[in-house]
Amino acid sequence: MGLNRSTIKALVEELVDRGLVSEIIPDTAARAGRPSHVVVPRSDTVHVLAAELGVDTTTVAAVGLGGAVLARRQYMSTSPSPVDQTVDRLAAELADLQSEMGGRLVGVGVAVPGLVQGSDGWVELAPNLGWREVPFGKLLARRLGLDVPVKVGNDGHVGGLAEHLRGSGQGTDNLLYVSGDVGVGGGIILDGRIQLGACGYAGEIGHMMVNPNGRPCRCGGRGCFETEVGEESVLVACGRSPDAGRAGLREVFAAAALGEPAAVAGLHDVVIWLARGLASLVNVLDTELVILGGTLAGLLPAVGPGLAAELASLTTLTSRHPVPIVASGLGEDSAMVGAAELAFEPLIAHPLGAFEPSRLVPPPSAPTSASAAGVAV
């Protein structure tokens, strides 16, 4: 960072005073010589409330600095989902969680399956929720009535951000995160940055056309990536009801792993379309890694090698080495953890300025090992 030792010392001491970080001596200091102190974020002094607004399930959580999930709950939601009811229920769940956590809240972040413009949470369109032009962030902030920023992001974007920072994409600066549930979204990380595009709508990979003879898509197109590999298509391809949902999809993946013919044949078709779509994206974006998230990640145990081989055969031009396809490292929490990152952004940008010390409770005793704090900075 180009700072000298004494400047860094002074800055770290200020952050320690605020209770935001701890200096610890790693447990595993087996090497000779005096062990270096390590500065780690403290997840016990400040936290954010984060949520992933899903089509059928919504997750709410309290997340500490460094990405530690301190508390986590889920509730069933319905689709289409009236805006007022959704905001009321979400606000009530968040408030309830906060009353359990105590008074050290610094932000709220929500991941939404739709086109989100600006981090104040204007939702231009969320087809699977039945929303169009909804000032969701402002509605939620008003309903919550908490004196902290409320940030909103697209679920694919924040999922990709979380996987890049804390999941399967750590250390990889060019990656594609595919969020596959009822809808298929994406988070594009290039050169270490999440790419938003002109309006914040980049990553709508679900509406890349892959099959001109395919089914009509709700976007007005035909044969979109989403209509070929989305949840309903996978269920239908495998001879299940399109309404079987996440549970149905998990059953299909398990059946395919056991060799059930209908499931195996159906997933074979899905793999072809999935590989074609991913190959196009790898050729356009030159990402070195593809991370599958959402329910779609569940197909990897059954058909991962076939998918990787198919992808490799279609990207020989641009990839000297086959591009690995891996499951999300944060499981089904990618978007929720990413929403927490959004919520922490104002604090990270101004760790000493954004929040009055009086609004933080006096720090309890600092943790003494890295494991207590989670992830090192």
Which CB sits closer to a second copy, 36 or 313? 313
What is the β-pairing status of strands 325-327 and 289-293?
parallel
Radius of gyration of the chain (CA): 22
H or E stretch covering 292: strand 289-293
Which CB sits closer to a second copy, 45 or 154? 154
Residue 216 beta carbon to a second copy: minimum distance, rounded to whole angstroms: 12
Which CB sits closer to a second copy, 7 or 316? 316
Residue 48's contacts (CB-CB under 8 Å, 6 or more residues apart) are 62, 63, 105, 106, 107, 108, 109, 340, 343, 344
Provide the 8-state DSSP code for 48: E
Residue 64 beta carbon to a second copy: minimum distance, rounded to whole angstroms: 30
Tell me the two tokens of residue 276: 């074609």
Q: How far apart are CA 100 and CA 235, in angstroms?
A: 40
Which CB sits closer to a second copy, 208 or 339? 208
Which CB sits closer to a second copy, 107 or 206? 206
Which CB sits closer to a second copy, 77 or 172? 172
Residue 181 beta carbon to a second copy: minimum distance, rounded to whole angstroms: 17
Which CB sits closer to a second copy, 67 or 153? 153
Residue 184 beta carbon to a second copy: minimum distance, rounded to whole angstroms: 11
The residues binding a second copy (CB under 8 A) are 115, 124-125, 127, 173-174, 186, 188, 190-191, 193, 195-205, 207-213, 219-221, 276, 279-281, 283-288, 313-314, 316-320
Residue 178 beta carbon to a second copy: minimum distance, rounded to whole angstroms: 12
Which CB sits closer to a second copy, 50 or 116? 116
Residue 228 beta carbon to a second copy: minimum distance, rounded to whole angstroms: 10
Which CB sits closer to a second copy, 51 or 116? 116
Question: Phi first, then psi: what are they for 267, rounded to 5°?
Answer: -65, -30
Residue that has been written with the tokens 């940030």 in this structure: 151
Question: Phi first, then psi: what are they for 232, rounded to 5°?
Answer: -65, -40
Burial of 151 (0-12, 13-18, 19+ CB in 10 A): buried
| Cβ contact 289:188 at 8 Å | no
Q: How many CB atoms lie within 10 A of CB 29?
A: 12
Residue 182 beta carbon to a second copy: minimum distance, rounded to whole angstroms: 15
Q: How far apart are CA 293 and CA 47, in angstroms?
A: 25
Residue 201 beta carbon to a second copy: minimum distance, rounded to whole angstroms: 4
Q: How far apart are CA 328 and CA 334, in angstroms?
A: 7
Quick one: the chain helix, strand, coil %, rounded to 5? 40, 20, 40
Residue 92 beta carbon to a second copy: minimum distance, rounded to whole angstroms: 32
CA angle 99, 55, 89 (to 5 degrees): 30
Residue among 23, 21, 28 nearest 66 (CA): 21
